[in-house]
A and B are shown apart, each in its own frame.
Chain A
Amino acid sequence: MHGGAFMSAGTLGLIIMLLAVSSFFYGRRRAVVAADHSGARLHSVPSYYGFYVAIWCGIPAIILILGWLALDDIIIRGLVLAGLPDSMVDGRSPAEIDLLMATIRNAAAGIMFGEPPPEVMAAADHLQRLQALSRMAMTVVILSLAIGGITYARSRISPAFRARIKVEGAMQIFLIICSVIAILTTIGIVASLLFESMRFFARVPVTEFLFGMTWSPQTAIREDQVGSSGAFGAVPVFAGTLLISAVALVIAVPIGLLTAVYLAEYADGRVRAVIKPIIEVLAGIPTVVYGFFAVLTVAPAMRAWGADIGLDVSANSALAAGAVMGLMIIPFVSSLSDDVINAVPQSLRDGSAALGATRAETVKQVILPAALPGIVGGVLLATSRAIGETMIVVMAAGLIANLTANPLEGVTTVTVQIVTLLIGDTAFDSAKTLAAFALGLVLFFVTLCLNIIALRIVQKYREKYD
Chain B
Amino acid sequence: MTDHAATVPDRPAFAGTGLHTSDAAVRRLRARYAANRRLQAMGIGAISLALGLLGILLITMVSAGWTAFFQTYVTVEVDLAPEALGLEPGTTEPEAIRRGDFREVLIDSVAARLTGVDDATARRALRDMLAAAAPITLRNMVMDNPALLGQTIEFRALASDRVDQVYKGLIDRELVEDRRTISDQQLRFYDQMVEQDIIAAPFNWRFFSTADSRTPESAGIWGALVGSFYALSVCFLISFPMAIAAAIYLEEFAPKNRWTDLIEVNINNLAAVPSIVFGLLGLAVFIQFFGLPRSAPLVGGMVLALMTLPTIVIAARAALKAVPPSIREGALGMGASKHQTILHHVLPLAMPGILTGTIIGLAQALGETAPLLMIGMNAFITQAPDSITSPATALPTQIYIWADHPERGFVAKTSAGIMVLLGFLIVMNGMAIWLRKKFERRW
Q: State yes or no: do A and B come from one complex.
A: yes
Q: A381-B272, A388-B276 are in contact. Are A358 and B32 (CB under 8 A)?
A: yes
> Which residue from A185, A266, A385, A448 sits with its C-beta under 8 Å from B306?
A185
Compute how far the CA of A286 lies from the CA of B428 in the bound complex, rounded to whole angstroms. Answer: 14
Q: Is A371 an interface residue (CB 8 A)?
A: no
Q: Which of A278, A284, A448 has the most CB of B within 10 A?
A: A284
Task: Please name all residues of chain A whose beta carbon is closer than 8 Å to the beta carbon of B49 when the two chains form the complex.
Answer: 255
B249 A255 Cβ-Cβ under 8 A: no
A176 B249 Cβ-Cβ under 8 A: yes
Give the dominant DSSP class at B's interface.
helix
Q: Is A160 an interface residue (CB 8 A)?
A: no
Task: Please name all residues of chain B whose beta carbon is closer than 8 Å to the beta carbon of A70 when the two chains form the complex.
Answer: 290
Q: A6-B389, A261-B39, A360-B35 are in contact. Are A436 and B280 (CB under 8 A)?
A: yes
Identify which of B112-120, B145-153, B369-377 touches chain A.
B369-377
Q: Which of B250-272 contact A (CB under 8 A)?
A: 250, 253-254, 262-263, 266-270, 272
A358 B266 Cβ-Cβ under 8 A: no
Q: Is A119 an interface residue (CB 8 A)?
A: no
B274 A389 Cβ-Cβ under 8 A: yes
Q: Is B4 an interface residue (CB 8 A)?
A: yes
- Chain A: minimal CB distance from B252 (Å): 9
A447 B280 Cβ-Cβ under 8 A: no
Compute how far the CA of A436 lies from the CA of B370 in the bound complex, rounded to whole angstroms. Answer: 14
Compute how far the CA of A281 lies from the CA of B50 in the bound complex, rounded to whole angstroms. Answer: 11
Q: A258-B46, A297-B60 are in contact. Are A175 and B367 (CB under 8 A)?
A: no
Q: Is A111 an interface residue (CB 8 A)?
A: no
> Which residue from A6, A286, A419, A437 sits with its C-beta under 8 Å from B284?
A437
A415 B276 Cβ-Cβ under 8 A: yes
- Chain B: minimal CB distance from A301 (Å): 10
Identify which of A30-38, A186-194, A208-216, A402-410 touches chain B.
A186-194
Q: Is A25 an interface residue (CB 8 A)?
A: no
Q: A259-B50, A296-B411, A384-B272 are in contact. Are A181 and B5 (CB under 8 A)?
A: no
Q: A3-B389, A285-B422, A419-B276 are in contact. Are A179 and B246 (CB under 8 A)?
A: yes
B268 A181 Cβ-Cβ under 8 A: no
A349 B2 Cβ-Cβ under 8 A: yes
A258-298 interface bits toward B, Cβ cutoff 8 Å, 1 = contact, 0 = none? 11011101100000000100110110111111111101110
Q: A262-B40, A295-B403 are in contact. Are A182 and B309 (CB under 8 A)?
A: yes
Q: How large is the interface on B (under 10, 10 to 19, 20 to 34, 35 or more residues)?
A: 35 or more
Compute how far the CA of A175 lies from the CA of B281 in the bound complex, rounded to whole angstroms. Answer: 24
- Chain B: minimal CB distance from A414 (Å): 9
In the complex, the chain A residue whose C-beta lies closest to that of B42 is A258
Q: Is A137 an interface residue (CB 8 A)?
A: no
Chain A interfacial positions (CB closer than 8 Å to B): 2-3, 6-7, 70, 73-74, 164, 168, 171-172, 174-183, 185-186, 188-189, 192-193, 195-196, 254-256, 258-259, 261-263, 265-266, 275, 278-279, 281-282, 284-293, 295-297, 327, 330, 346, 349-350, 353, 357-361, 363-364, 381, 384-385, 387-391, 394-395, 415, 418-419, 422-424, 426, 428, 436-437, 440, 443-444, 447-448, 451-452, 455
A sample of 20 more A-B contacts (CB under 8 A), given A390-B274, A419-B370, A451-B272, is: A3-B389, A3-B390, A192-B284, A255-B46, A255-B49, A279-B50, A284-B364, A286-B367, A288-B367, A289-B367, A291-B403, A292-B61, A360-B36, A394-B400, A419-B374, A423-B378, A428-B288, A436-B280, A444-B277, A447-B274
Give 15 CB contacts A-B under 8 Å.
A178-B241, A180-B263, A189-B281, A258-B42, A262-B40, A275-B51, A279-B47, A289-B367, A292-B403, A359-B40, A388-B277, A390-B275, A395-B400, A423-B373, A437-B284
Chain B interfacial positions (CB closer than 8 Å to A): 1-2, 4-5, 32-33, 35-36, 38-40, 42-47, 49-51, 53-54, 56-57, 60-61, 64, 241-243, 245-246, 248-250, 253-254, 262-263, 266-270, 272-278, 280-281, 283-285, 288, 290-291, 293-294, 306, 309-310, 313, 337-339, 363-364, 366-370, 373-374, 376, 378, 387, 389-390, 396, 399-400, 403, 411, 414-415, 418, 421-422, 425, 429
